[in-house]
């Protein structure tokens, strides 16, 4: 079974590569130093510093492996050639929350680089999924814990 492609913008790819290099280099060295220092305290069976450093090492190594898998399956989104007649990954979308008459601008990205605090929403999120392949003027409904939210697509840009 083929691996699922990971959609990334150019910025998302560069950020991921930067994180990967940091983790494999500087962060691994920092953790190795913490482990070495904790070992110098003696008995490892009751050494919380050692346990903490080993746990951090496991988390970092898991993240490195995850990034390696992502980088093997990247499908780069060329934002310069994104079609803005409908919503796609790589588009900026201006949306109106009809009930509250509130406008938001979202950048649609793959799930790997989603960051809702920066208005970067995944194409797999409820809002992202609802607006994919829609056009300016379309009204969509999104199921939310507080109930259904109606939104209108006001603009699609690069």
Distance CA 92, CA 106 (A): 6
Please answer whether residues 94 and 104 qualify as being in contact, where contact means their C-beta atoms are separated by less than 8 angstroms: yes
Q: State residue 2's pLDDT score.
A: 52
Residues forming beta bridges with residue 17, ordered by sequence position = none
Asked if CATH classification 3.40.50.720 holds for the domain at 79-157, the reply, yes or no, is: no
User: Domain 6-77 class?
Assistant: mainly alpha
Q: Summarize pLDDT for 32-42 with one digit per residue, the tens.
A: 999 999 888 77
CATH 1.10.287.180 domain locations along the chain: 6-77
Q: Where do you find CATH 3.10.50.30 in the chain?
A: 79-157
Kindly report, residue by residue over 59-80, the tens digit of the pLDDT.
Answer: 999 999 999 999 999 988 887 7
Rounded distance, CA 77 to CA 67, Å?
18
């Amino acid at each position: 079974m083929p691996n699922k492609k990971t959609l990334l913008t150019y910025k998302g790819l560069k950020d991921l590569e930067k994180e990967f290099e940091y983790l494999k280099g500087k962060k691994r060295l920092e953790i190795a130093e913490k482990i070495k220092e904790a070992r110098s305290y003696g008995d490892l069976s009751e050494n919380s510093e050692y346990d903490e450093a080993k746990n951090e090492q496991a988390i970092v190594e898991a993240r490195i492996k995850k990034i390696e898998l992502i980088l093997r399956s990247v499908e780069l989104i060329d934002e310069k050639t994104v079609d803005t007649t409908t919503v796609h990954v790589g588009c900026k979308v201006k949306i109106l929350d009809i009930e509250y008459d509130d406008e938001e601008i979202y950048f649609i990205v793959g799930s790997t680089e989603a960051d809702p605090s920066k208005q970067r929403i995944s194409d797999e999120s409820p809002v992202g999924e609802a607006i994919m392949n829609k056009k300016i003027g379309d009204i969509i409904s999104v199921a939310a814990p507080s109930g259904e939210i109606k939104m209108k697509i006001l603009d699609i840009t690069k």
